[in-house]
Structure 1
């Protein structure tokens, strides 16, 4: 079983000052602390402002020797040309209002869409500087993975383990909803749908090289069309381009990519019953098929929508 090295990053993009956002820097540091006792080798990219605190957290868990903190003076320096391209597109009001909900950061925040792209740049740096050996597995985990237990894993002590799993030689992605290849990317961008969860990605080093190129080209393709979106759409576009490189896992929660693949001991919060809202997905698919001229499929999904919303619950 190959070693799993975890890579993550944290950069201050002013979240604490956003309207309706409660996720400031201290909140994210606490999110990280929740899972930071995991015993794998960990590489963290961040600015000088947070470096000592991050290392101190790992040191408190006796994991200083398994931790490498890379200080980044200016995160925009990873790829200034990409930043400028994103800025140009997102400053266009037509592009901004193309999104269904212009309050969400992927609609208006240049730094947000740029920083979530840095997942691939950080891993590219790890590989090029040979911080790991070539037969290793790299797992990207978001710095705020599991949001400090709010997403369902309630016992931080459960992270006190060495994460191991016999992953196949594919790029492993984990879904938020089942992928429908009939829905075009522009429709996904407009409706702001999420198909792949961006908080965890796993692959061997060689496949990360392919994934990095696919991700960069996917973002450039969007920008050339005058559109921009976050990492989750970029992952989907990369999968569309080279599906044979990927293994897609249909999961139920944001933490299942870890829990079901080596973290089976995790304790989950008892799930409350939530009303099924599958009908919303049916309506969305019906509209997409209608737009594409696939009227028979559109009718089929409108019927499913009607049955699910008006007959199933009432």
Structure 2
């Protein structure tokens, strides 16, 4: 019986010099420390990096904490390959007209001044699509997961592999607010307001789908990026994801993250609220085994 609950994880690491961003400092070592926790999962893992040095470092971590785990590391220098996109983004961020639409209190946030930070978040869908098109993804389900998602040691408590029967014909995304509190977006301009005001409902930390639907979603995402840039609008992944949720609502399935265990977003809910240990999954798995599906 084919295990349709297995998930290939795609992630990436790119050094942006964030250790020097006042109020948003984070060193490369911090990212790798957090990746050590993610790398323990027995899932197939595909990691995109900029150079051989980081490829070697990723493989070293993965081999130490998950020996025998299937790992593909792809060298892709997005800063070189997508420099033209970066320039478009940075020109918008530097434009006084754009800045006037962003609340002053948000001007210090990196997504409102650093084009590379914006672009590295938009590249998520590019590398996920690339990994599928290159034939690197062997499972029916594929997930983007941020390289530094696991901030705490107990993040993957009781999990050595992440499995779940996500619907393959939907893009499974995570919301930090219940759907009943979502704004009723009537026009495209309503989605622009969310981008200007950093009003987040769906997070870009992780999203999951079947291979075919994921490619479709990534295509829509990259098209949306170019469309919005042409209109003088830019945002990181979360703004674009809300735009797509407004435009293609039936493509999505929401998974509410629940209440946080600690201050901040409840990112542990990505894995802890939907996994193979949940009662609903176990029941469905029994039915599948009973009927040999």
Q: 2:90, 2:113 within 8 Å by CA — same for their partners in 1? A: no
Distance in 2 between residues matched to 1:262 and 1:34, nearest whole Å: 17
For 1:107, the equivalent position in structure 2 comes to 112
Larger Rg: 1
Pick the aligned partner of 2:20 from 3, 14, 17: 17
Post-superposition, which runs of at least 4 consecutive aligned residues in structure 1 deviate over 4 A?
none
| Secondary structure in 2 matching 1:158 | coil
Q: CA deviation at 1:58?
A: 0.9
For 2:269, the equivalent position in structure 1 comes to 256
For 1:269, the equivalent position in structure 2 comes to none
Distance in 2 between residues matched to 1:89 and 1:263, nearest whole Å: 44
Distance in 2 between residues matched to 1:203 and 1:132, nearest whole Å: 12
What is the TM-score when the length of structure 1 is the normalising length?
Answer: 0.77
Q: CA deviation at 1:264?
A: 4.9
Answer yes or no: is 1:125 the counterpart of 2:130: yes
For 1:226, the equivalent position in structure 2 comes to 232
Distance in 2 between residues matched to 1:63 and 1:204, nearest whole Å: 27
Answer yes or no: is 1:98 the counterpart of 2:92: no
Distance in 2 between residues matched to 1:247 and 1:41, nearest whole Å: 23
> Structure 1, residues 36-67: CA drift from partner, whole Å, max 9, x if none?
10000000001223221211111112335411
Pick the aligned partner of 2:86 from 83, 86, 89: 83
Name which structure has the greater RCO, CA cutoff 8 Å, separation 6+. 2
How do 1:1-314 and structure 2 match up within 5 A?
1-2=3-4, 3-48=6-51, 49-72=53-76, 74-100=77-103, 101-133=106-138, 136-146=140-150, 148-149=151-152, 154-155=153-154, 158=157, 161-169=160-168, 170-177=170-177, 178=179, 179-182=182-185, 184-252=190-258, 253-262=266-275, 264=277
Q: 1:40, 1:163 within 8 Å by CA — same for their partners in 2? A: yes
Q: Could you list the runs of 5+ residues in structure 1 that have no partner in the other structure?
A: 266-314
Distance in 2 between residues matched to 1:127 and 1:62, nearest whole Å: 23
Q: RMSD in angstroms over aligned alpha carbons?
A: 2.0
Q: Could you list the runs of 5+ residues in structure 2 that have no partner in the other structure?
A: 259-265, 279-293
| Secondary structure in 2 matching 1:188 | helix
Distance in 1 between residues matched to 2:65 and 2:194, nearest whole Å: 42
Note closer, same or farther for the CA distance 1:136–1:191 as it changes in structure 2 (3 Å cut).
Answer: same
What is the TM-score when the length of structure 2 is the normalising length?
Answer: 0.82
Q: 1:28, 1:144 within 8 Å by CA — same for their partners in 2? A: yes
Distance in 2 between residues matched to 1:203 and 1:165, nearest whole Å: 11
Distance in 2 between residues matched to 1:159 and 1:110, nearest whole Å: 38
Distance in 2 between residues matched to 1:159 and 1:206, nearest whole Å: 31
Distance in 2 between residues matched to 1:240 and 1:185, nearest whole Å: 8
> Structure 1, residues 57-107: CA drift from partner, whole Å, max 9, x if none?
1111233541111122x2224434322321221221221342221000111
